[in-house]
Chains A and B, each alone.
Chain A
Amino acid sequence: MSVAQEVYSQLAVHNSKDLLRFITCGNVDDGKSTLIGRLLLEAGAIYDDQIAALQNDSNKYGTTGGRIDTALLLDGLEDERQQGITIDVAYRYFTTQRRKFILADSPGHEQFTRNMATAASNADVAIVLIDVTKGVSVQTRRHAYIATLLGVKQIVLAVNKMDLVQYQSDVFQRIVDEFRQFATALGRVDAYAIPLSALEGDNVTVLSGNMPWYQGETLLGYLDNVRIEDRLRHASLRFPIQRVSRPDANFRGFSGTICSGQLQCGDEVVVLPARSKARIKSIVTMDGELNRAETHDAITVTLDRELNLARGDMLVPGDAEPRITTEFQATVVWMSEQPLVIEKRYWLKHTTRKTPCEIKTLHHRTDVNSLARLSAPVLRLNEIGFCTLQTTEPVVCDDYQTNRTTGSFILVDRITHETVAAGLIASSAEESQPGYWSSASALTHAKRQQSLVRMEDREAQYGQKPGTILITGLSCSGKTTVALQLEKKLFEAGKIVVVLDGQWLRMGISRDLAFSAEERSENLRRGAEIAKMLNDSGQICIAAFVAPSAWVRQKTRELIGRDRFLHIHLSTHVEVCRQRDSTGQYQAADRGEIQNFPGVTYSYEAPDDADLYFDTSLQSPEAIAEEVYQRLVTKWF
């Protein structure tokens, strides 16, 4: 066989290889660098002169007493090598007979959530390293959580240092069970556990004789064989225009990379956000025109009619359009030393589009260790939160779990130009549900006995139909004053009525709550539960709450029942409320002493579905109470 023939036959093998991107997460102490170094070494990715340099480095910096310290292959930058810590994401490349691999090696320390998210953003598989002598640690949970959050569907649980526990299967099994129990909280993820010793080379590329009880894949075997489904290929077409090509008056092409789906000459497409329609006339490349192009292809298309398109526009099929919106919810990974500032203007980059944006509401923060949702006034470096964002220009997007490309964005500081955050757009199903509205009761055999008194009998005896009047508005908008006027009016008319005030609840039943979105929601939920009980007993309830979230007001209405519910909104202007404020709350909010204060440091989602609207700077509380009373007479009495 000639050299050329031999090359082509070898290349035929190379050409059939697919590409797998994976990340490794773990601590220096877990032996991560040692493991990856060994993987690279045994996979033949290290050249002889590099091995010589490694031997040289091992003598100089190594921790293995002159033996080759494979960990030193990984630590790239001078500073960190001297510290013996990996502090950034490093990329490695190697190939086997079956695949080409891109490995993003990401650090395991708490302060480096941002690097791990960076590495995971393009990965298909995550290797989560566990030190068998330590078990499932807080870090293990964090790594698994961040990997799955960023869309990694396959996790390899590499249980390392098996040599230190005499290769016992029960120790391994215990750790695997513990991890699986935790992993169920992460949603759809495949976990594959491998017992190994990076130092001794057990089960890294060769099945170990020390653990005959383990008959699964070696680490490299797993990476070679794991099936990776490229879901984007089966998704709908998304083609964001990256550049308009006009070399001369006759040619007008639109260049870009197909994010998902495919495209064919003659296809009808819709251009978003303008919604104009056109057909694909040609697909132009330097290698000649194509009839069709696939996901990930970088192409230039021409259309069958003149349309004024620009960078940032997106071609999609008419029957499967993405969302076009200026407001959406997203999980945000904060990456800057400067904390998030609500309502500050940031740049947002999404596909090939840039727009100013602001974060309107920070609903909660997720503790990456416990996965608990916590209330948070701000997000700091390496924290993950759930937010509502508002953009100046519309964004054409899908949710992240459906499409990693059209569902992701970054936020950039307008002054420092630092990348401050990475965002993952939420689907409507994941949208924020602060508080415990959807939580199940802890009771397992709950059964409620029926009252012996029928509702009709109560209504007849009290001479009223029960219901709840929810009065909402900013602090000092006059809610309680109106509520008390209305109570007086109802009482004088012989009705049985109770006033529930958000502030009063906070003095007792909600004494444990502060003012995050989560806790505001919970305060109103408790109020709503009480109102429902009062209504069930035949009494009328007037509930005065700030209730800044539309979603929470909606849940309140559902909990109490639509036909028993009347929503009064006081739209008194914030400046009027401020002037009225005799207790100095607004000033305290300005100074940052009170956090998440609606109208100052927290957005108020004004309702468009209230039953009645009033402005207490235009009408007296008595007059408002009278109007509400008249409405109740026609509606309920």
Chain B
Amino acid sequence: MQASPHLKRLEAESIFILREVASEFENPVLLYSIGKDSSVILHLARKAFFPAKPPFPLLHIDSTWEFRDMIEFRERYARQELGLNVIAYHNEDGVRDGINPFDHGASYTDIMRTQPLKRALTHFGFDAAIGGGRRDEEKSRAKERIFSFRDRNHRWDPRNQRPELWSLYNTWKATGESIRVFPISNWTELDVWQYILQERIPIVPLYFAKERPVVRRGNDLIVVDDERMRLEQHEKPVNMKVRFRTLGCYPVTGATESEAETIEDIVHEMLTTRSSERQGRAVDREEAAAMERKKKDGYF
């Protein structure tokens, strides 16, 4: 397939950003969520530093409620096949206290994702964290910088962000402060899929439609991924052919009914869809401002 000039530009821009991070920071890390955006960034990082390996480790913040397929993919592909340094980190206290998405609602994400992320960044002394955020995902991300400054408490202040001109990124910071970097800021969801197709990038099978045990909660289709899933009395999982557009903790990530079994099918679906990818995230739908508040607190 002929490479797209549009994707070539996006790819080059992302590679430039990744190389800036590696050159300007002492101890960068790639936040690896195992999703499609992370997979694209990982692929871009391999390209950026070829023939060398990416000069930073991968950090996966494991909420302990991930889909099993994600953990399996992380171990098989990132760790074994690519031979990369993968750090898996989770909140021990949260596990001990039995924090779960059923009982702890909004504070669950904070305790099992945001808090361990902040703790891991501090623990390992990472001064730059590369993430997969895209500006087209959500309104408050539309204003995010590519190099996004965080204070010593990892907080984001929307009123105090550095202006970003041309491709001259301000990477200066004091000890303890850090910068989050979003190399695929300018990519859309369609670009991501088109690129995955063009480059044949391996992704978690959850993105492909398959018969899966599903319960319907409101408008969400929740896949029962393991025995910890708490079912209401009237709920009985039924097999449906579903796939995911985004991945997160399985009890709060909605699947969509789909027949898309290949990347070609997914791209086809993307070209005709009328709903946004975040529709599947119960956590985002509450109110548009929710995301912004979470970001201020240090969520990615």
Contact = CB atoms under 8 A, between A and B. Distances in A.
Interface in B106-131: none
Contacts of A89: 143
Interface string B119-152: 0000000000000000110011111000000000
Contacts of B20: 242, 352
B239 interface: no
Given A311-B23, A408-B168, A296 B9 contact: yes
Nearest to B159: A79
Interface stretch (B45-53, B61-69, B94-102, B226-234): B45-53
Interface string B154-194: 00001101111111101011100000000001101010001
A612 interface: no
B162 A18 contact: no
A166 interface: no
B55 to A, nearest CB: 9
A404 B47 contact: no
Contact of A7 (B8, B46, B49, B264): B264
A418 B162 contact: yes
A17 interface: yes
B268 A14 contact: no
Interface residues of B, number: 67
Contacts of A623: none
Contacts of B164: 118, 419
Nearest to A295: B12
A462 to B, nearest CB: 61
Given A3-B264, A405-B167, A15 B142 contact: no
A15 B165 contact: no
Interface stretch (B33-41, B210-218, B285-293): B285-293
Contacts of A4: 262, 264
A15 B190 CA distance: 12
B4 A14 contact: yes
A245 B50 CA distance: 8
A77 B292 contact: yes
A100 interface: yes
Given A335-B163, A417-B174, A78 B262 contact: no
Contact of A47 (B15, B166, B194, B274): B274
A100 B190 CA distance: 11
A242 B167 CA distance: 12
Contacts of B49: 245, 255
Contacts of A49: 275-276, 279
A76 B140 contact: yes
A245 B51 contact: yes
Given A47-B276, A257-B16, A88 B143 contact: yes
A376 B126 CA distance: 43
A311 B20 CA distance: 10
A97 interface: no
Given A15-B4, A349-B170, A352-B23, A118 B186 contact: no
Size category, A interface: 35 or more
A165 interface: no
Contacts of A3: 262, 264-265, 268
A53 interface: yes
A256 B52 CA distance: 15
A234 interface: no
Nearest to A422: B165
Nearest to B173: A417
Interface in A49-99: 49-50, 53, 57, 73, 76-79, 81, 88-93, 95
Contacts of A508: none
B293 A78 contact: yes
B170 A115 contact: no
Contact of A48 (B139, B166, B275): B275
A290 to B, nearest CB: 12
A203 to B, nearest CB: 26
A247 interface: yes
A15 to B, nearest CB: 4
A6 interface: yes
Contact of B172 (A76, A114, A347, A408): A347
Contacts of B273: 47
Given A49-B279, A419-B162, A15 B2 contact: yes
Nearest to B135: A91
B142 A404 contact: no
A122 B48 contact: no
A583 interface: no
A146 interface: no
Interface centre among A100, A253, A285 (most CB of B within 10 A): A100
B19 interface: yes
Contacts of A260: none
16 contacts: A7-B197, A15-B7, A19-B6, A78-B293, A91-B186, A92-B142, A117-B163, A122-B166, A242-B16, A243-B19, A257-B16, A285-B50, A296-B8, A298-B19, A410-B165, A417-B173
Interface of A: 3-4, 6-8, 10-12, 14-15, 17-19, 47-50, 53, 57, 73, 76-79, 81, 88-93, 95, 100, 102, 114-115, 117-118, 121-122, 242-243, 245-247, 251, 253, 255-257, 284-287, 296-298, 300, 311, 335, 347, 349-350, 352, 404-405, 408-410, 412, 417-419, 422
List the 4 closest pairs (A to B, CB-CB), nearest first.
A247-B52, A417-B172, A298-B15, A15-B4
